[in-house]
Chain A
Amino acid sequence: EIVLTQSPGTLSLSPGERATLSCRAGPSISISYLAWYQQKPGQAPRLLIYGTSSRATGIPDRFSGSGSGTDFTLTINRLEPEDSAVYYCQQYNSSPFTFGPGTKVEIK
Chain B
Amino acid sequence: EVQLLESGGGLVQPGGSLRLSCAASGFTFSSYVMTWARQAPGKGLEWVSAISAGGDSTYYAGSVKGRLTISRDNSKNTLSLQMNSLRAEDTAVYYCAKGRGSGWYVPIDNWGQGTLVTVSS
Which residues of chain A from 35 to 84 have a CB within 8 Å of any chain B CB? 35, 37, 39, 44-47, 50-51, 56-57
Q: Which of A11-19, A20-28, A90-98 contacts B (4 or more CB under 8 A)?
A: A90-98
Those of B12-59 within 8 Å (CB) of chain A: 35, 37, 44-47, 50, 59
Residue of B nearest to A49 (CB): B107
Q: Is the CB of B45 within 8 A of A102?
A: yes
| Given A39-B45, A44-B112, A88-B44: A95 and B107 interface contact (C-beta under 8 Å) | no
Chain A residues with Cβ under 8 A from B47's Cβ? 90, 96-99
- Rounded to whole angstroms, the CA-CA distance of A95 and B98 in the bound complex is 16
A50 CA to B110 CA, complexed, in Å: 13
With a cutoff of 8 Å between Cβ atoms, the chain B residues found around residue A10 in the complex are none
Contacts of B107 in A (CB 8 A): 35, 47, 50-51, 90, 92
Most A Cβ at <10 Å: residue of B46, B62, B108, B114 = B108
Please, how many residues of chain A have a CB less than 8 angstroms from a CB on the other chain?
Answer: 27
B1: Cβ under 8 A from any A Cβ? no
Chain B residues near A1: list those with CB within 8 A. 62
Query: What residues of A have a CB within 8 angstroms of the CB of B105 in the complex?
Result: 32-33, 92-93
Chain A positions within 8 Å of B60 at CB level: 96
A51 and B37 alpha carbons, distance in the complex (Å): 20
Contact A95/B59 with A47-B107, A90-B47, A101-B44 known, Cβ cut-off 8 Å: yes
B61 and A102 within 8 A (CB): no
Give A46 to B113 CA distance when docked, in angstroms.
11
Measured between alpha carbons, how far is A86 from B62 in the docked complex, in Å? 25
Q: Which A-B residue pairs are the 5 nearest by beta carbons?
A: A44-B111, A35-B107, A95-B59, A50-B107, A99-B45
